Amino acid sequence: MFAFDNQYVRLPERFWRKVAPTVVKAPRVLAVNGPLADLLGVDAAWLASQAGADALSGNVVPAGADPIALAYAGHQFGGFNPQLGDGRAILLGEIVGKDGLRRDVQLKGSGRTPFSRGGDGRAALGPVLREYVVSEAMFALGIPTTRSLAAVETGETVQREVPLPGAVLTRVARSHVRVGTFQFFAARQDREALEALTTHTLELLYPDTAASVTGASESALALLDRAIAAHAYLVARWMGVGFVHGVMNTDNTSLSGETIDYGPCAFLDEYDPAKRFSSIDHQGRYAFGNQPQIALWNLARLAEALLEVIDPVEDVAAEKVTERLDTFASRFNEAYAEVMRAKLGIPTKDETDNALIADLFERLAGSEVDFTLFFRRLCDVAASEVAPSADLNVAELFAHPGAWYDWAPRWRARLAAERAGGGPSDEQRSAAMRAANPAFIPRNHRIEEMIAAARKGDLAPFQRMNLVLARPYVEQPENADLARAPKREERVTATFCGT
């Protein structure tokens, strides 16, 4: 059972619509996330039972739930749509977890809502399992993200280009308030709603900040500031693991700074800043290297939506938000440098670091180097002052090994300076690097294989991926096949939203 304690539904009625999930034919539980269930105080064995399947598919609305679809708007690929909203998701309710934090429990794929427009409100098995695996992998990597409590199949088919098995994901998030939620009310010039949403979001997500400000104007500016900090950090972390979100629309930009909406996302195999996977991202707007600037663009849309609340005089408000938005670059650069120094085994700051890092990435791009393997193998190189065989293992990742042999001495000189400064031992450095450079990421080709198997009724690859990816920084020789880069012909080049 769920111990719901619902707040969002207490916000004014124009924030949401009551909606009952659609009943499905034959719900069957495919996965239950034990540790997350435990955190939420929900009995995992119950979730896995038929009663659990009924609740997780929306066939039975559990006691205490207040099922609602949330209203929001959003910029999609740069174009504003004033009317989006949960078209295939229903918020069941909120639970305060054992850690004292409140979280949303949402069914994704549970049928049409008043916001469905032309869509069927459904989700297919593939995208549900994909989101389950990738969101939980992100969590295990230590990157802020929504999570997956369960996946159920519906026993029905959903019609996409071809008929596909249907499924429902139970998504758990600190909040589903997005930049697009603010835009929804700004587009309607609904200042009262903007103020209520600001207060709600600040108190929910940033209670310490909420306690230090008074009034709507201060609250809005403080919320903007916290969102900027959260996204500067989040995107820096994405860049550190080669994550391409793929659809960074403002409706997929959470105020909590959690990664949300695992549609066409993918992890880089070979490093390429221009890399995009999404089949609908024709211009490469959301390419890997564009993500920091897109995050800032999305935050600027949040700022815009809050202008009225911040100051009735537009110029005054604009000046205040600009000052905040201008902090994004330095916050991102700082977070990024910290992420990269950890990856390179450099604990202290030096003004030459940025150049060293930039030089490295130029070489990686020019040599089609597997992003994840490169950094993981670098941990072995760092384990001792000279390590010819570890060196060779890295060099062989490069189409032009000279690029590595040119850069390595610069990096080694930096490590030597660290050593001279009394830094950690080589062994400690290597261990610390292993905690910053995952051996396992959800490889795109493995995800596709996993989905293909699941469609044939074989969940073993799905379960195995979850187990392995729960410990991404731990060497697991028996699972080396999941760490391996795809062969050229195995590379996934396009991903789909799956809507």
Binding status of residue 163 toward ligand AMP by CB under 6 A: no
Q: Which helix (H) or strand (E) holds 90?
A: strand 89-96
User: Cα 26–42–105 angle (5° rounding)?
Assistant: 70
Catalytic residue among 225, 251, 269, 370: 251
Binding status of residue 497 toward ligand AMP by CB under 6 A: yes
- Residue 286 CB partners (closer than 8 Å, separation 6+): 244, 245, 246, 247, 248, 276, 278, 294
- Give residues in contact with Mg ion (CB under 5 A): 252, 261
499 binds, among ligand AMP, Mg ion, none (CB under 5 to 8 A by kind): ligand AMP
Would residue 251 show up in a list of annotated catalytic residues for this protein? Answer: yes
Q: Rounded to whole angstroms, how far apart are CA atoms 419 and 427?
A: 12
The nearest distance, CB 181 to ligand AMP, in angstroms, is 11
Binding status of residue 130 toward ligand AMP by CB under 6 A: no
Window 439 to 458, contacts with ligand AMP (CB under 6 A): none
Residue 284 and residue 156 in contact, taking contact as beta carbons nearer than 8 Å: no
Q: Compare residues 88 and 176 and give the one whose CB is closer to ligand AMP.
A: 88
Parallel, antiparallel, or unpaired for β 147-159 and 28-32?
antiparallel
Binding status of residue 231 toward ligand AMP by CB under 6 A: no
Q: Which of 483, 275, 455, 322 is closest to 397 using CA atoms?
A: 483
Q: Rounded to whole angstroms, how far apart are CA atoms 207 and 18?
A: 28
Q: Rounded to whole angstroms, how far apart are CA atoms 370 and 389?
A: 18
Which one of 53, 133, 193, 247 is in contact with ligand AMP (CB under 6 A)? 247
- For residue 354, what are the β-bridge partners? none
Which one of 35, 41, 78, 119 is in contact with ligand AMP (CB under 6 A)? 119
Q: Of 116-124, 291-299, 309-317, 346-354, which segment contacts ligand AMP by CB under 6 A?
A: 116-124
Which one of 58, 62, 121, 242 is in contact with ligand AMP (CB under 6 A)? 121
Window 54 to 93, contacts with ligand AMP (CB under 6 A): 84-88
Binding status of residue 252 toward ligand AMP by CB under 6 A: yes
Among all residues, whose Cβ is closest to ligand AMP? 119
Q: Which of 281, 298, 272, 282 is closest to 246 using CA atoms?
A: 281
Q: Hey, which residues are catalytic here?
A: 251
Residues at the interface with ligand AMP (CB under 6 A): 84-88, 116, 119-122, 247, 251-252, 261, 263, 497, 499
